[in-house]
């Protein structure tokens, strides 16, 4: 397993649409292992392949709180087939938008269809944190980021902050 570099805003790759996985083979499984490792190391509770620069429709999630008991979940070609009318808010952050958080409202429950680690068809009804996390990650596969749900003003403040940070980082010479 290899740690991959997580892309951050304003990297334009984060705005690209990811492609469907045609076949779940060893390469895809290795990629998912790397993604999971990278996510745990960050640390985060969800990661989409595009965040490490791979434009494939793959998401890994682990919302278990106990670091001793890992519960990794793998979603290949995930698709939301139903969303509840009832909405819920979480203070969301994103590994690709470091240190920025905002309250985002999303449907509190959803049903997601996907292929699992072995390429088998699965369907899952998610609620609460898992439902929010799945929706956040599927947005990544479509080039959408949580800041897109904010007002233009709030969104621009965050983008400006991150562009500034990036410039300062690039200036360091060792
Ligand atoms: Zn994210």
Residue of 79, 91, 127, 137 marked catalytic: 137
Say whether 82 sits in a helix, a strand or coil.
strand
Which pLDDT score is estimated for 150? 97
pLDDT at 100 > cutoff 90 = yes
Q: From ligand 1's centre to the CA of 174, what distance in Å? A: 31
| CA–CA distance, 137 with 100 (Å, rounded to integer) | 17
Q: What is the 3-state secondary structure (H, E, C) of 21-80?
A: CCCCCHHHHHHHHHHHHHHHHCCCCEEEHHHHCCCECEEEECCCCCCCCCCCEEEEEEEE
Judge contact between 109 and 88, C-beta under 8 A.
no
Location of structure tokens 């278990």: 64
Domain ranges of the chain: 12-170
What would the pLDDT profile of 101-135 be if each residue is shown by its tens digit? 999 999 999 999 999 999 999 999 999 999 999 99
Q: From ligand 1's centre to the CA of 136, what distance in Å? A: 6
Q: From ligand 1's centre to the CA of 41, what distance in Å? A: 15
Per-residue confidence band for 67, with pLDDT thresholds at 50, 70 and 90: confident
Per-residue confidence band for 142, with pLDDT thresholds at 50, 70 and 90: very high
The CATH class for the domain spanning 12-170 reads: alpha beta
Q: From ligand 1's centre to the CA of 170, what distance in Å? A: 23
What would the pLDDT profile of 9-63 be if each residue is shown by its tens digit? 999 999 999 999 999 999 999 999 999 999 999 999 999 999 999 999 999 999 9
Which pLDDT score is estimated for 168? 67
| CA–CA distance, 33 with 57 (Å, rounded to integer) | 15
Average confidence (pLDDT) over 136-149: 98
Which pLDDT score is estimated for 66? 78
Within a 10 A sphere around the Cβ of 48, how many other Cβ atoms? Answer: 30
Whether 137 is catalytic: yes
Q: From ligand 1's centre to the CA of 150, what distance in Å? A: 15
What residues are neighbours of ligand 1 (ion), with CB under 5 Å? 94
pLDDT at 171 > cutoff 70 = no
Bridge partners (DSSP) listed for residue 19: 56
* Predicted model pTM: 0.93
């Amino acid at each position: 397993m290899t740690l991959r570099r997580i892309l951050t805003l304003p990297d334009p790759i984060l705005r690209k649409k990811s492609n469907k996985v045609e076949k779940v083979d060893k390469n895809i499984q290795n990629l998912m292992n790397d993604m999971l490792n990278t996510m745990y190391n960050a640390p985060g509770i969800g990661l989409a392949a595009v965040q490490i620069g791979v434009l494939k429709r793959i998401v890994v999630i682990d919302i278990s709180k106990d670091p001793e008991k890992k519960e990794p979940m793998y979603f290949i070609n995930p698709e939301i087939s139903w969303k509840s009318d009832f909405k819920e808010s979480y203070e969301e952050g994103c590994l690709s938008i470091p240190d920025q958080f905002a309250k985002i409202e999303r449907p509190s429950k959803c049903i997601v269809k996907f292929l699992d680690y072995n390429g088998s068809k699965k369907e899952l009804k998610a609620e609460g944190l898992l439902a929010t996390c799945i929706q956040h990650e599927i947005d990544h596969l479509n080039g959408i980021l949580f800041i897109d749900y904010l007002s233009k003003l709030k969104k621009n403040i965050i983008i400006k902050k991150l562009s500034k940070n990036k410039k300062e980082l690039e200036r360091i010479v060792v």
